[in-house]
Chain A
Amino acid sequence: GQQLNQSPQSMFIQEGEDVSMNCTSSSIFNTWLWYKQDPGEGPVLLIALYKAGELTSNGRLTAQFGITRKDSFLNISASIPSDVGIYFCAGLEAGGTSYGKLTFGQGTILTVHP
Chain B
Amino acid sequence: NAGVTQTPKFQVLKTGQSMTLQCAQDMNHEYMSWYRQDPGMGLRLIHYSVGAGITDQGEVPNGYNVSRSTTEDFPLRLLSAAPSQTSVYFCASSYSRLAGQYFGPGTRLTVT
Contact = CB atoms under 8 A, between A and B. Distances in A.
Contacts of A42: 4, 90, 103-106
Nearest to B91: A42
A42 B92 CA distance: 9
B64 interface: no
A100 B42 contact: no
Contacts of A41: 105-106
B95 to A, nearest CB: 11
A5 B100 CA distance: 19
Interface residues of A, number: 22
Contacts of B45: 101-102
Contacts of A31: 98-100
Given A99-B97, A100-B31, A100-B97, A45 B42 contact: no
Contacts of A33: 100-101
Interface string B20-57: 00000000000101000000001101001010000000
A43 B90 CA distance: 9
Contacts of A109: none
Interface string B67-106: 0000000000000000000000010000001111111111
Interface string A39-72: 0111111001010000000000000000000000
A45 B101 contact: yes
10 contacts: A33-B100, A41-B105, A42-B90, A42-B103, A42-B106, A48-B99, A48-B100, A88-B43, A102-B33, A104-B42
Interface of B: 4, 31, 33, 42-43, 45, 48, 50, 90, 97-106
Interface of A: 30-31, 33, 35, 40-45, 48, 50, 88, 92, 94, 99-102, 104, 106-107
Given A33-B100, A92-B97, A92-B98, 16 more contacts: A31-B98, A31-B99, A31-B100, A33-B101, A40-B106, A41-B106, A42-B4, A43-B90, A45-B101, A48-B100, A50-B98, A94-B98, A100-B31, A100-B97, A100-B98, A104-B42
